[in-house]
Structure 1
Amino acid sequence: MDDVDRKLISALRHDARASLSDLALLLGVSRTTVRGRIERLRQRGDIVGFTVVLQDDVKSDPVRGLMLIGIEGRGTDRIVRSLTGFTAVRAIHATNGRWDLIVELGTETLAELDEVLAQIRRLDGVATSETNLLLSTRKSG
């Protein structure tokens, strides 16, 4: 993958519906080159698909936090299943080191977040936790 491929992927991440003409103009190459590179990137598996992003997908929760959870025993799978039922849970990550799970949370208010944290702490098997509020995001997936 060269610099043109990286710039093409960056442009497609910004707008996957950009026309071949617009992409060619942006990259300083021909439409045929853009078409060929996209096809080659797809065939190699570098590009595995295109998607639609809905407004709700990018809407940011007013209150966001990361809850680090330590689990006693072998209850991780059960706790993960429980966590998936919480509407405030945005993502669940398994990790190594001191914490067993990192849970991304999003709510409308601090009071709602506080309630969700209390509910999670009451789950059988949750031994310890630590929560950090997210103040700003410099770069997101």
Structure 2
Amino acid sequence: MDDTDRKLLSALRHDARASLSDLALELGVSRTTVRSRIERLQRAGEILGFTVVLKEDTARDPVRGLMMLGIEGRGADRIVRQLNGLSAVRATHTTNGRWDVIVEIGTPTLEAFDAVLAQIRRLDGIVSSETNLLLSTRKAAG
């Protein structure tokens, strides 16, 4: 991946609906170059897809947060399966460092959020947790 690819990916993150002509103008290359680079990045697995974020997607979860979990022993796979079965869990991420799993949670109220936290903390094998509420999102991942 070269500098032009990185600039193209940055432009697409900003506006995935930008026309090939607009992208070409912004990058100082031809439309054909933009199209072939996008196709190559898709084939290489760098671009996995394009998505739309709807207003209702953010409105349905006015209370959102990240819960970091420490897991005892080798129970991470089992716990991730249990987490993914909870309706308030939007995503689970395994990670390295202090925490074993990071859970994205979305609920309609603080009370519901608190109930989900309590439910997760009771799962067998979770030994520690830390939770942060998300106050605002300036750029959503797609």
Q: For this structure pair, what is the TM-score category when the shorter chain's length is used for normalisation? A: 0.7 to 0.9
Moved more, 32-41 or 105-114: 32-41
Partner of 1:10, secondary structure, is helix
Q: 2:14 maps to which residue? A: 14
**Number of residue-to-residue matches in the alignment:** 140
- RMSD, matched Cα: 2.8
Distance 1:94 1:29, change over 3 A: closer
In structure 2, the residue corresponding to 1:129 is in which secondary structure?
A: strand
Q: Which has the larger radius of gyration?
A: 1
**TM-score (normalizing by structure 2):** 0.74
Partner in structure 2 of residue 51 of structure 1: 50
Distance 1:46 1:81 in 2: 26
Displacement of 1:18: 3.1
Change in 2 beyond 3 A, CA 1:119/1:38: closer
Q: Tell me if the contact between 1:94 and 1:102 (Cα under 8 Å) persists in the aligned partners.
A: yes
Relative to structure 1, the CA distance from residue 91 to residue 6 in structure 2 (aligned partners, 3 Å threshold; closer, same or farther) is same
Aligned residues of 1:16 and 1:50 also touching (Cα < 8 A): no
What residue ranges of structure 2 are gaps of 5+ in the alignment? Answer: none
**2:66 counterpart residue number:** 66
Q: SS at 1:51's partner residue? A: coil
The CA deviation at 1:31 is 2.5
| Residues 1-141 of structure 1: pairs in structure 2 closer than 5 A | 1-42=1-42, 45=44, 47-55=46-54, 59=58, 61-141=61-141
User: 2: distance between equivalents of 1:11 and 1:58?
Assistant: 23
Q: More deviation in 27-36 or 127-136? A: 27-36
Identity, % of aligned positions: 70
Gapped regions of structure 1 (runs ≥ 5):
none
How far did 1:109 drift? Answer: 0.9
Cα distance change, pair 137–17 in 1 and its aligned pair in 2 (3 A): closer
The 1:137–1:81 alpha-carbon spacing in structure 2 relative to 1, beyond 3 Å, is same
